[in-house]
Amino acid sequence: MKKLMSIKNLQKYFPVKKNNFFQIGTEYVKANKDISVDIYEGETLGIVGESGCGKSTFGRTIIQLQRQTGGSTLYYGDTIEDFMPDYVQTVYRNLPKISGDYDQDLNTIEKMEEELETLDAAEKEAHFETLRLKKIEFDNTYGNTLRLVGGLVAHDNLKQVSSILLNRYDAASTLAEYKRNLEFEQQKQKMKAAYNQEEIDRLTEELQTAEKNLNEENAKVEELKAPLRGMTKFERFERYLDEGIDLAALTKKETRLLRKDLQIIFQDPYSSLDPRLTVGDIIGEGLLIHKFFKSKRDPGYQAYIVDIMEKCGLKAEFIHRYPHQFSGGQRQRIGIARALAVQPKFIVCDEAVSALDVSIQSQIINLLLDLREKNNLTYLFITHDLGVVRYISDRIGVMYFGHLVELGSAQEIFNNPKHPYTKQLLNAIPTMEEDEDALWDVEEEYDDFEFHYSKDGDHDPDWIEVAEDHFVATTLKDREAYYDKRKESSHEFVTS
């Protein structure tokens, strides 16, 4: 399956207002502490957990409604070559300036890894946590450099590398702009909006020239790499090249360009709709902001909105009504139609059915499943309802106090849970049976690992695969023995 988003070491902290003027330092509410997960194209990833565990914050943060504090969120619905954000140019320009710090920090990490082998069990746990945090800090500082420059960081003349990469950036950004404008005109044509055929022809012609220029610059980059191939350092970092777009590094203008790809269905179907706008205006607002249509008077504008409404189970005659004239289920359909109107690739469903009664819930869930199949959508489905998440999700992630503590297929999470907190959630599902034997044993012992999670959720540093594609946050009893048995590296250096 193709990756659509890759979240690494995501952190979202909210500063707490100082109690008095003399208070030193700033305290934070750590809503998301260290979350890493990949989301694949066309899947539904369910996120469950108790109130206050950070589920909604996680959903809003990965689409940058709230800026993340640390970590990286890479988006693959578009590529660096086709988007060319400003931070790419910044990385290329600053490459010679960070080389000294980069080598120093890398040497520090490698030295810490060597020291880990000489420590006893008690010291090893504390040192392993320090090493993990150091790697996160390293990725926050140098991750985009490795993802964009790769093995060329090993070149002796980084000023020359910077100059050639900047030339390639200029050629690639020109090509990306032509591609973006051409795709936009073609999309308007498909939506039966007003489009400019002469502009399409001009952009097609300009595209060929821009592609030729970019190929020439790419050839110069390959010439730089040729003498480095075979070097250990070059090969080590060349594999970190990544075409994903770091959403956290985008400017506000660039984030707005991608907003049409990344949408959200809010939890409350009442407060999330502007009471002063009609249904047609609510759904069409995004179309006008992203300039799919120039105005409401454009041919095809109203017909397109009616088509989206009907796909979401809303009658055409509702287009001029206001939100207060609808039931909760109908309002949620309006929210879904609003999100779908700009043809997104990824939708965060934040408690999208929790405010609805059971019969309406089933209608909305079936609607979301149908739309996913027809439009190849990807969902992050956030909910408290374990029955709902089991039905709609391909995979389920369990969150506890800002951490992802278990991740696996829906079937695996319900039939073979490992984390004590997951078992407590499953045991809390209401049932007509009184058989206590049907409850999961929260105190179960395991040969290789154990759990020390507490109210802060920070006491289980290991993330291991207990079954195929089934991961759990735990504490290994003997880390070296476990990885030796699995023939894997216990502390492989990973930056992306």
User: Pick from 185, 209, 243: which residue ends a domain?
Assistant: 243
Report the DSSP beta bridge partners of residue 263: 347
3-state secondary structure the chain: CCEEEEEEEEEEEEECCCCCCCCCCCCEEEEEEEEEEEEECCCEEEEECCCCCCHHHHHHHHCCCCCCCEEEEEECCCCHHHHCCHHHHHHHHHHHHHHHHHHHHHHHHHHHHHHHCCCCHHHHHHHHHHHHHHHHHHHHHHHHHHHHHHHHHHCCCHHHHHHHHHHHHHHHHHHHHHHHHHHHHHHHHHCCCCCCHHHHHHHHHHHHHHHHHHHHHHHHHHHHHHHHCCCHHHHHHHCCCCCCEEHHHCCHHHHHHHCCCEEEECCCCCCCCCCCCCHHHHHHHHHHHCCCCCCCCCCCHHHHHHHHHHHCCCCHHHHHCCHHHCCHHHHHHHHHHHHHHCCCCEEEEECCCCCCCHHHHHHHHHHHHHHHHHHCCEEEEECCCHHHHHHHCCEEEEEECCEEEEEEEHHHHHHCCCCHHHHHHHHCCCCCCCCHHHCCCCCCCCCCEECCCCCCCCCCCEEEEEECCEEEEEEECCHHHHHHHHCCCCCCCCCC
How far is the C-alpha of 74 from the C-alpha of 352, rounded, in Å?
25
Q: How many Cα atoms are found within 13 Å in the side-chain-facing hemisphere of 174?
A: 16
Domain-embedded: residue 248: no
| Domain carrying residue 158 | 82-243
Whether the CB-CB separation of 348 and 264 falls below 8 Å is answered with yes
Say yes or no: 310 and 333 in one domain.
yes
Total domain count, the chain: 3
Domain-embedded: residue 264: yes
Domain-embedded: residue 296: yes
Say yes or no: 371 and 285 in one domain.
yes
Say yes or no: 473 and 429 in one domain.
yes
Q: Which token pair is 315? A: 């009658």
Tell me what the pLDDT averaged over the chain comes to: 86
**10 Å Cβ neighbour count for 425?**
21
- Whether the per-residue pLDDT at 492 is higher than 80: the answer is no
Say yes or no: 357 and 385 in one domain.
yes
* CA distance to 70, 138, 493, per residue, from 106 (Å): 19, 8, 10
- Whether the per-residue pLDDT at 398 is higher than 90: the answer is yes
Task: Please give the residue that has the higher pLDDT: either 92 or 356.
Answer: 92
Say yes or no: 22 and 134 in one domain.
no
Residue from 453, 454, 491 nearest 472 by CA: 453
Say yes or no: 269 and 221 in one domain.
no
Residue from 50, 78, 99 nearest 346 by CA: 78
**10 Å Cβ neighbour count for 399?**
24
- Whether the per-residue pLDDT at 476 is higher than 60: the answer is yes
CATH number at residue 311: 3.40.50.300
Q: Tell me what percent of the residues of the chain surpass a pLDDT of 70.
A: 93
Say yes or no: 117 and 155 in one domain.
yes
Say yes or no: 202 and 318 in one domain.
no
pTM: 0.87
Q: Tell me what percent of the residues of the chain surpass a pLDDT of 90.
A: 45
User: Pick from 186, 215, 243: which residue ends a domain?
Assistant: 243
- pLDDT recorded at residue 347: 95
- Per-residue confidence at 408, pLDDT binned at 50, 70, 90? very high
Domain-embedded: residue 62: yes
Say yes or no: 239 and 90 in one domain.
yes
- Per-residue confidence at 456, pLDDT binned at 50, 70, 90? low
In angstroms, how far is CA 457 from the centroid of its own chain? 22
User: Pick from 193, 209, 243: which residue ends a domain?
Assistant: 243
- Whether the per-residue pLDDT at 127 is higher than 80: the answer is no
- Whether the per-residue pLDDT at 126 is higher than 80: the answer is no
Say yes or no: 73 and 88 in one domain.
no
- Per-residue confidence at 100, pLDDT binned at 50, 70, 90? low
* Amino acid identity for residue 120 in this structure: D
Residue 189: exposed, middle, or buried by beta-carbon count in 10 A (0-12, 13-18, 19+)? middle
Task: Please give the residue that has the higher pLDDT: either 124 or 274.
Answer: 274
Say yes or no: 445 and 473 in one domain.
yes
Say yes or no: 356 and 407 in one domain.
no
